[in-house]
Structure 1
Amino acid sequence: MNVQQIRNATITVQYAGKKFLIDPMLADKGAYSPFPAGFREDVRNPIVDLPMSVDDIISDVDAVILTHLHQDHYDDVAKKVLPKSIKIFVQDEKDAKQVINDGFQQVEVITENTIFEGIQLVKTQGEHGRGEELLKAMGEVCGIVFIHPNEKTLYVAGDSVWYDGIQNEIDAHTPDIIVVNAGNNVWQSMGSLIMGKEDVYEVFKAAPKAKIIAVHMEAVNHWTLSREELERYADEKGFSSSLLIPEDGESYTF
């Protein structure tokens, strides 16, 4: 297995001989308007360049996974450059309809037991923020677990804060590798949309033997947790040996 951080939530996963592209935001730096955060709203998104060419990112991809359809997970460039015949997995029929309307021909709703080329893909739950108002505004999201007899179990948690649903997924699947979206991004004055440092610590406590990879950091204007601060916090709490915080373009083989 190889997991490569591209930028923001965009990663590639090479697993059991197949390459997956997850949550592709492929636009050039500054292509989109900033998100409403109450700060850094003079900075257009994405706020950093891609670490490699789009052609290199999408080369040899066997399937795309969209945990949800927010712009920083599925953008106009991805819609344009991905082959319309590529396999795309989405969380529900609503998202499937949208992706089909975008011209893609092989769109499948992921379930708790989806099989792709011998790899079991399991849809997992998530909450894109805290509180009824924020959850309603953000809509449904999902994560994904990868299972194969010749690979370690990988859990990509997606855009979620820590809550008992994440605990339940960890208990159910005992993942060896966990990818968390950990920039503590915020929405207006309504609070955090994804994990902050305390949430990541909860993931560690729930799965102390797993390797945790923190992504979705320092790439769009509404981030509030830096790589440096998360690393310092992990040192203070004693779990830095379990935590990987990749720079854009960095990859890990397990």
Structure 2
Amino acid sequence: MKLQLIRNATLKLDYAGHTVLIDPFLGPKDSLPSFAGRAPNPLVGLPFDTDTILAGVELVIISHLHEDHFDDTAKHRLPKGLPIFCQPGDEEAIRGAGFRDVTPLLGKAQWQGLKLTRRDGSHGLGPVVQDMGPVMGFSLEAKGEPTVYWAGDTVLYPAIEKTIHDTKPDVIVTHSCGARWDGALIVMDAAQTIAVCEASKKSIVVATHMEALDHATVSRGDLRAAASAHGIALPRLLIPDDGDVLTLIPPVV
């Protein structure tokens, strides 16, 4: 398996002979308004041109419809015939953008030898959840590949801990920028990411969704310093830069 961080939550996976694009956020720097009154978003440009990012993509997964996960540029540039999995309730909006092959991930699904399982998430806790709306994570499995748990735009709460405990994934992808909305934490921060590492000491944790949006509170350097202070080092916690490619292999049984 190869995992490439494009920017923010956007990942490109080479997995079981297929290429999967997750949460395409493809607009140029400054194409969205500020979320925290600091600067327009995204704060950084894409590491590659859009044609390079889309090259070879066979499947798209969209966790929710916030603009930093599925923006207008993605709506225009993604081929309309690509198969898309999304959370239940978002399918009509995606079809309304012209996409023809949209499937809500209700529970489990199979696609070309890939097994997807929807996982719960909470985009914050308390009243902020009404503002943020529903989100999903997912697990990904295929023969000969590491099992992946993509947690998505969620804070750490009992449902996440249960998924980690029950599935024991080889790879966990977290969103770890500590973004806040009206003061409330809406994705994991450094402390919660470290707690994920400690909850599954045999998993590789890949921290993403960092240094792209102005409501973030945790940088890559902040997370690395916090992890080092807790004795968590490479390769247990990987913090890729935009454009980096990670090669991850299944454990030897």
* TM-score calculated relative to the size of structure 2: 0.96
Q: What residue is the counterpart of 2:116 in the other structure?
A: 121
- CA-CA distance at 1:208 after TM superposition: 0.5
SS at structure 2 position matched to 1:240 = coil
Matched, 1:228 2:221: yes
- After TM superposition, the structure 1 = structure 2 runs for residues 89-108 of structure 1, keeping only pairs within 5 Å, are 89-92=85-88, 94-108=89-103
Equivalent-residue separation in structure 1 for 2:119 and 2:166 (angstroms): 10
- Corresponding letter in the other structure for 1:162: L
Q: Gapped runs of 5+ residues in structure 2?
A: 249-253
- Corresponding letter in the other structure for 1:177: V
- CA-CA distance at 1:212 after TM superposition: 0.5
- Structure number with the higher strand fraction is 2
- Corresponding letter in the other structure for 1:5: L
Equivalent-residue separation in structure 2 for 1:124 and 1:228 (angstroms): 29
Equivalent-residue separation in structure 1 for 2:51 and 2:205 (angstroms): 28
Match for residue 168 of structure 2 among 135, 151, 174? 174
Q: What residue is the counterpart of 2:4 in the other structure?
A: 4
Q: What residue is the counterpart of 2:251 in the other structure?
A: none
Matched, 1:237 2:237: no
- CA-CA distance at 1:22 after TM superposition: 0.5
Matched, 1:196 2:189: yes
Q: What residue is the counterpart of 1:208 in the other structure?
A: 201
Identity %: 38
Q: Deviations over 1:183-225 (max 9, x none)?
A: 0001123x11100011111111211011100000010111100
- After TM superposition, the structure 1 = structure 2 runs for residues 107-186 of structure 1, keeping only pairs within 5 Å, are 107-131=102-126, 133-186=127-180
- CA-CA distance at 1:148 after TM superposition: 1.2
SS at structure 2 position matched to 1:60 = coil
Q: What residue is the counterpart of 1:23 in the other structure?
A: 23
Equivalent-residue separation in structure 2 for 1:124 and 1:102 (angstroms): 25
Equivalent-residue separation in structure 1 for 2:113 and 2:153 (angstroms): 26
* TM-score calculated relative to the size of structure 1: 0.95
- Corresponding letter in the other structure for 2:19: K
- CA-CA distance at 1:175 after TM superposition: 0.5
Equivalent-residue separation in structure 1 for 2:142 and 2:164 (angstroms): 17
Equivalent-residue separation in structure 2 for 1:233 and 1:219 (angstroms): 20
Equivalent-residue separation in structure 1 for 2:198 and 2:159 (angstroms): 15
- CA-CA distance at 1:149 after TM superposition: 2.0
- After TM superposition, the structure 1 = structure 2 runs for residues 30-69 of structure 1, keeping only pairs within 5 Å, are 30-35=30-35, 37=36, 41-69=37-65
State the Cα RMSD in Å: 0.8
Q: Deviations over 1:167-191 (max 9, x none)?
A: 11112211001110000001123x1
Equivalent-residue separation in structure 2 for 1:6 and 1:57 (angstroms): 8
Equivalent-residue separation in structure 1 for 2:136 and 2:232 (angstroms): 26
**Which portions of structure 1, spanning 4 or more consecutive aligned residues, are displaced by more than 3 angstroms?**
none
Q: Deviations over 1:151-171 (max 9, x none)?
A: 110111000000111111112
Q: How many residues are matched?
A: 247
Q: Deviations over 1:90-115 (max 9, x none)?
A: 010x2001000110000001133200
Equivalent-residue separation in structure 1 for 2:119 and 2:195 (angstroms): 18
Equivalent-residue separation in structure 2 for 1:148 and 1:15 (angstroms): 8
